[in-house]
């Protein structure tokens, strides 16, 4: 039998956030496997130049710039691609009939397109963790109701998914989420007063977008990932441990009741979890560089210190409280990180803004998406106020 007769029909995919770090890596994966994927849709926010190059290469039927005022006159050079603007256009895009939607927008903006993809019955490969932090139980319940698979792309959650697969839920004692510790691990808090956005986004082991890089430097990213894991694996906060592992070789571990621990190891390249999610349940040959066990650094693991990483503490508090508390935490953090990146508050101000906003807004039950969105708006108002106090 020839290779072409063995090849299944191409998987029809949509990439939300195609111009970002995850989106570009996903399109690299697609390039590695000609004939395996068909790109039906692409969405970016404002980067029209890169989106145009992607349209030229992948010929999607649909493309979106979510910035409402984006100029799309250039799109007339691609008559086969319907190009539109605004978040609603991204929601419509995510609902087109496809095999899988890769959700890789950044922040809360991805919530509505994710919801739309699930409601349309599309499986999703989820990198965009913030919506799951905001509304994890609602999203997962809707996915179960629509028989939609939510495949994690975050490297830690992809690792856990692979370790946990095929085991009984009752046999899982706990999950160990690994964290690199970010660029400032081990530094005394006092020395972080004058940290610049450029320093905070220089991650020691992963090459990522600005927001997640700053979140990694405060360890808020690990806090968000705890809440993400609670939703994805239906496990309570107290059964999720975090451990600092600066080498980023072990991507996470699952400990079973009988004392056995399964760990996932790999190189720090997001193309691996993206490939796994896009080809699941198959495993395909990978042309990417592999982990060389004999030239690995010594692996170390340490307990994180809440005093060094207060954002991790606030995230654990929100995770335990549940309801709309994680949405409040997420919104406060998004506003704080944006203000830090714009030079309006210092690095240590991020945790202070999160603390003030989460104290100012009471959590309620997250009974509906509207309740979650209202908590998000309230928390942003509180965070903006906390930021203003620091910039006066």
Binding residues (CB under 6 A) for ligand NAP: these are 17-23, 44-47, 66, 104-106, 109, 127-130, 154, 206, 208-212, 270
Residue 91 or 123: the one with the smaller Cβ distance to ligand NAP is 91
Residue 1 CB, nearest approach to ligand NAP (Å) = 38
For residue 246, give both structure tokens. Answer: 């600066």
* Residues 6+ away with beta carbon under 8 Å from 62: 40, 41, 42, 81, 82, 83, 84, 93, 96
- Which lies closer to ligand NAP via its Cβ, residue 211 or residue 222? 211
Question: Phi, psi (5° rounding) for residue 225?
Answer: -70, -30
Provide, rounded to whole angstroms, the least separation between the CB of residue 87 and ligand NAP.
Answer: 7
d(CA 169, CA 185): 34
What is the nearest approach in angstroms of ligand NAP to the Cβ of residue 102?
10
Nearer to ligand NAP, 162 or 356 (CB): 162
Helix residue ranges per DSSP H, 40-128: 48-58, 87-94, 111-119
Q: Name the residue with the smallest CB distance to ligand NAP.
A: 20
Q: Cβ closer to ligand NAP: 106 or 357?
A: 106
* Least distance from ligand NAP to the Cβ atom of residue 7, Å: 29
Q: Which is nearer to ligand NAP, 61 or 205 (CB)?
A: 205
Q: What's the rounded Cα separation, in Å, for the pair 191 and 164?
A: 40
Which residue, among 261, 46, 80, 266, has the nearest Cα to 175 in the 3D structure? 261
Nearer to ligand NAP, 214 or 363 (CB): 214
| Minimum distance from residue 299 beta carbon to ligand NAP (Å) | 21
How far apart are alpha carbons 13 and 96 in whole angstroms?
A: 10
Rounded-to-integer distance, Cα 385 and Cα 375, Å: 15
Nearest distance from residue 174's CB to ligand NAP, in Å?
22
| Number of other CB atoms surrounding residue 51 within 10 Å | 27
Strands 11-16 and 150-152: what pairing?
A: unpaired
Q: Are 11 and 39 in contact (CB under 8 A)?
A: no
Shortest Å, Cβ 121 to ligand NAP? 22
Strand, helix or coil for residue 270: coil
Handedness of CA 201, 207, 209, 213 (dihedral sign): negative
Is the distance from CB of 340 to CB of 347 less than 8 angstroms? yes
Q: How far is the CB of 97 from ligand NAP (least distance, A)?
A: 22
Residues 6+ apart with CB under 8 A from 233: 160, 161, 164, 172, 175
- In this complex, which beta carbon is closest to ligand NAP, that of residue 256 or of residue 280? 280
Contact yes or no for 235/277 (Cβ under 8 A): no
**Shortest Å distance, C-beta 392 to ligand NAP:** 27
Nearer to ligand NAP, 101 or 208 (CB): 208
Q: Which is nearer to ligand NAP, 209 or 322 (CB)?
A: 209
């Amino acid at each position: 039998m020839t290779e072409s007769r063995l090849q299944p029909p191409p998987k029809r995919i949509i990439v939300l956030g195609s111009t970002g770090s995850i989106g570009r890596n996903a399109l690299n994966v697609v390039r590695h496997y000609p004939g395996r994927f068909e790109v039906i849709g692409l969405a970016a926010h404002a980067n029209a130049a890169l989106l145009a190059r992607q349209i030229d290469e992948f010929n999607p039927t649909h493309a979106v710039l979510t910035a409402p005022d984006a100029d799309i006159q250039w799109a007339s050079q691609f008559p086969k691609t319907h190009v539109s603007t605004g978040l609603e256009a991204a929601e419509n895009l995510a609902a087109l009939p496809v095999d899988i939607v890769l959700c890789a927008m950044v922040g809360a903006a991805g919530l509505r397109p994710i919801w739309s993809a699930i409601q349309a019955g599309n499986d999703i490969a989820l990198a965009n963790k913030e919506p799951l932090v905001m509304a994890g139980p609602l999203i997962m319940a809707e996915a179960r109701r629509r028989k939609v698979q939510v495949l994690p792309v975050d490297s830690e959650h992809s690792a856990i998914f692979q370790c946990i697969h095929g085991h009984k839920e009752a046999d899982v004692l706990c999950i160990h989420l690994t964290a690199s510790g970010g660029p400032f691990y081990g530094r005394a808090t006092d020395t972080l007063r004058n940290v610049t956005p450029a320093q905070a986004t220089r991650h020691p082991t992963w090459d990522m977008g600005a927001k997640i890089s700053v979140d990694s430097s405060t360890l808020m990213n690990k806090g968000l990932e705890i809440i993400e894991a609670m939703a994805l694996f239906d496990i309570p906060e107290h059964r999720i441990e975090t451990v600092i592992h600066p080498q980023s070789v072990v991507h996470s571990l699952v400990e079973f009741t009988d004392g056995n621990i399964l760990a996932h190891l790999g190189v720090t390249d997001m193309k691996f979890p993206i490939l796994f999610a896009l080809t699941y349940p198959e495993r395909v040959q990978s042309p990417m560089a592999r982990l060389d066990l004999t030239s690995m650094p010594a692996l170390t693991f340490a307990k994180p210190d809440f005093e060094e990483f207060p954002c991790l503490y606030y995230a654990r508090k929100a995770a335990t409280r549940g309801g709309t508390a994680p949405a409040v935490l997420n919104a406060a953090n998004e506003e704080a990180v944006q203000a830090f990146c714009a030079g309006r508050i210092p690095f240590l101000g991020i945790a202070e803004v999160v603390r003030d906003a989460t104290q100012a807004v009471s959590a309620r039950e997250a009974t509906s998406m509207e309740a979650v969105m209202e908590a998000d708006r309230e928390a942003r108002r509180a965070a903006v106020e906390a930021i203003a106090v620091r910039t006066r």
